[in-house]
Amino acid sequence: MTRYAIDRSRNALIACWSTGLGDTAVVVADLASGISSRDALNLARALTQLSEACWRCYTHPASAADSHEPHSEGWRRQGERDAFAVVPTALTSPNLPSDGHMIQSYIRVEEAAHRVGRALHTLDAAELTTRVTIDVAAELAAIEQAELGNLAERARQAVALTREDASPVQVAQADSMLHDDPFGHETLFTEIDPAAAAVAAAHWLHAAATITAEYAGLPATQIVAEADNIEALPHETPTLVLELMADGASPRQAVMPMIRAALRVAEGEIPNIAALKQRIIAAEQMIDKWRDAQPEVSLDTLNLRITPLDPTRPALDLLEDLLSGIRGCWLLYAEYAIDRDEAGDLDDEDAEDWQEHRTASFFAEVRGEAADQRKRLL
Note the pLDDT tens digit of each residue in 20-42. Answer: 999 999 999 999 988 999 999 99
- Read off the pLDDT of each residue in 260-281 and give the average, rounded to a whole number: 87
d(CA 252, CA 202): 8
Res 346: pLDDT: 53
Contact 343, 356 (CB under 8 A): no
Rounded Cα–Cα distance for residues 376 and 378 (Å): 6
Whether 83 and 136 have beta carbons less than 8 Å apart is answered as no
User: What's the CA gap between 312 and 51, in Å, rounded?
Assistant: 18
**Cα–Cα distance, 376 to 371 (Å, whole number):** 10
On the question of pLDDT at 246 being above 60, the answer is yes
Give the closest residue to 309 by CA, choosing from 359, 259, 349, 350: 259
349 pLDDT above the threshold of 90: no
pLDDT given for residue 341 in this prediction: 58
Cβ 51 vs Cβ 3: under 8 Å: yes
Residue 65: pLDDT over 70: yes
Instruction: Report phi then psi at 240, rounded to 5.
Output: -60, -45
Distance of alpha carbon 311 from alpha carbon 146, whole angstroms = 22
pLDDT band at 53 (very low <50, low <70, confident <90, very high): very high
Angle between helix 348-372 and 168-180 (nearest 10):
150
pLDDT of residue 145: 96
Count CB neighbours of 150 within 10 A: 16
Radius of gyration (C-alpha) of the chain in whole angstroms: 25
306-347: pLDDT as tens digits: 888 999 999 999 999 999 999 999 999 998 876 665 555 555
pLDDT tens, position by position, 285-306: 877 777 777 777 776 766 677 8
Residue 18: phi and psi, rounded to 5, are -80, 150
pLDDT band, very low/low/confident/very high, at 353 (cuts 50, 70, 90): confident
DSSP 32: P
> Exposed, middle or buried by CB within 10 Å (0-12, 13-18, 19+), for 247?
exposed
| pLDDT at residue 100 tops 90 | no
Average pLDDT score over the chain = 92
Q: How far apart are CA 246 and CA 231, in angstroms?
A: 24
* Packing angle of the helix pair 251-266, 194-216 (nearest 10 deg): 130
Compute the distance between CA of residue 306 and CA of residue 276 in angstroms, rounded to an integer. 7
